[in-house]
Amino acid sequence: MKLIVGLGNIGREYENTYHNIGFMCADKTAEMLNAEFTKEKFRSILAETKIGGEKVVIAKPKTYMNLSGTAIREMVDFYKTETKDLLVLYDDFDLKLGSVRIRESGSAGTHNGMRNVVSELGTEDFPRIRVGFKPETDITLPLIDFVLSGIDKDAKSVLEKAIIKASEAAAEFARGATVREIMQKYNGNTD
């Protein structure tokens, strides 16, 4: 089976924020795979489908960003998912606005949600897709406030393209493409 998890924060006030890019990718991936978020389990909202007889679960943890790993740990344990079959989608301020980076493994960097995922799983060896949102100009807010601020209209169109690209990559992962194949096809900017 494949487990695809988008990181974000539950609640209306977070819907259109940079820190919810992972949720946006999960929603778009589910749409591409004709799956609907209809279940609540593992402190998450789940969408399920089958592709070629293999179960695919797309999840949005309800634990809030910094405790995302606790929900992911529950799912990995329940489904007995190997980490190579887990894909995590999330926002990354360290990447330029609109860029998409797929990796087989790696550190959590400055992302607190990913730090919790790595800590709970006890490994950095799982695939991830990062969507960059660092603006070209310096931000005036502290980073914690910026990531929870509303996505401005100039960034929105660039991010929409990046979210589609990241979601297409996640859908290919669900269909059985290898991470290396996905990296070759999708790594880079949206243009």
Q: Which residues carry out catalysis?
A: 19
Give the whole-angstrom CA distance, residue 185 versus residue 164: 14
- What letter represents residue 140's amino acid? T
Give the whole-angstrom CA distance, residue 182 versus residue 167: 11
Structure tokens at 152: 């401005």
Q: Do 89 and 129 contact (CB within 8 A), yes or no? A: yes
Pairing of strands 86-96, 44-51: unpaired
On the CB side of 37, CA atoms within 13 Å amount to 20
Give the whole-angstrom CA distance, residue 109 versus residue 124: 11
Q: Between the CA atoms of 163, 165, 167 and 170, what dihedral angle is there, to the nearest 10 degrees?
A: -140
Check the CA dihedral 106-112-116-122 and report its sign. positive
